[in-house]
Amino acid sequence: MEIVVLGSGSSGNSYYFPFGDIYNFVDIGVSRSLLLPLLSEKRPRHINIFITHEHNDHVSGLRSLQRMFPTVPIFVYASPPVLSLLHDMASFQKFWLSEFVTPHEMQPDRLYSVSMLVDGDTAFSGSVPRINVRTHRTLHNSPLGLSYRFDILVSEPVLVGSDNQLASNTTDVDIFDKDEIYSDNENIVSVGFLTDTGDVTPEMLDSYGRCRILFLEANYDDSLLEKSSYPQTIKQRIASSTGHLSNAQGLQFIEKLSVSGRVRILLLAHVSENANSYTRLESYSDFYQSTYNIKTVVLKQKSFRKILIR
């Protein structure tokens, strides 16, 4: 299994995890140049895109991806208000008019089953037949933003990462042994993506505490935000209950999640280079590793990173 970070931060966000020739994205707010390595892989059978919210740094790559694969079916998943906003944006009109694009509405705090195969297709070798997707409402300046937990059903507990051209284009590859992460009889791999929320809810705590792999926002440090060059109104928005998660909030969240002992890989995401410090986050990373035995990776903006589990 592999997860590729195409972007994480204010300059663009996108996380890509393929299953065979099915492409899956959480957000697609990156430029065409960052998507181009995907062309070196085999042509996708279809593409699933799970949109958290409508901000440009999460959706700007929709048209670019469609231009790369103009005849490939694209299924877009988001809340109804977000789909409506995207549909009305002039820059995306051609995207929504395409016969190959199908929107799917998702409500918060629901469990959905998403097929990995197009109707009429047969399963390919080593395929993942479906994923269950748990949604949660995020507390952000969006009409109805969603975060996602993916429960990936696998036919075998063994997860094999594939080598492809994209690996040679990544600046960092983190390889994890599946035996360090999953129990021997586990055939459900839970991966969570929780960013762009000003606070966490009890529902999030319960849901993301079930994850083995968690992408968690670490947007700002309180003291560095205050010293930053942002206008005071922006500082207040970022630190508000509908803004972003801070390092301190993330620490409190992980302390609570550690009770379950499920999280094995933590990826600190959506880091602000104006209001945070990678050096400071490395200290958090060391703490999570030494205190909770959670392997932690700090994601940087504008750099590919590949998470490989085998």
Q: Are 220 and 10 in contact (CB under 8 A)?
A: no
**pLDDT above 80: residue 155:** no
**What separation in angstroms does the CA of 287 have from each of 181, 218, 296, 298?**
19, 15, 9, 13
The CA-CA-CA angle for residues 42, 46, 50, to 5°, reads 115
**Helix, strand, coil percent values for the chain (each to nearest 5):** 30, 30, 45
β-strand partners of 7: 14
C-alpha distances in angstroms, 80 versus 49, 60, 103? 15, 18, 9
How far apart CA 77 and CA 52 sit, in angstroms, is: 9
What is the model's pLDDT at position 183? Answer: 60
Bridge partners, residue 202, by sequence: none
Nearest-angstrom CA–CA distance, 130 and 113: 7
Q: Is the pTM for the entire model greater than 0.85? A: yes
**DSSP letters for 108-123:** TT-EEEEESS-TT--P
CB 275 within 8 A of CB 262: no
Q: What is the pLDDT of residues 5-33, one digit of tens each?
A: 999 998 899 999 887 788 999 999 999 99
* pLDDT one-digit tens code per residue, 86-133: 999 999 999 999 999 999 999 999 999 886 644 444 444 444 456 889
The rounded mean pLDDT for the chain is 87
Side-chain half-sphere exposure of 85, counting CA atoms within 13 A: 16
* Inter-axis angle of helices 247-257 and 278-292, nearest 10: 10
pLDDT, tens digit (0-9, with 9 covering 90-100), for 36-73: 888 777 789 899 999 999 999 999 999 999 999 999 99
Residue 13 Cα to chain centre, angstroms? 8
% of the chain exceeding 70 in pLDDT: 85
Rounded distance between C-alpha atoms, residue 105 and residue 263, angstroms = 29
Amino acid letter for position 76: V
For residues 199 and 217, give the distance between their C-alpha atoms in angstroms, rounded to a whole number. Answer: 11
Query: ∠ CA(110), CA(57), CA(145), 5° rounding?
Result: 20
Tens digit of pLDDT for each residue in 158-191?
333 333 444 444 457 777 777 666 665 566 779 9
Beta-ladder partners of 91: none
Which residue, 56, 91, 54, is CA-closest to 76? Answer: 54
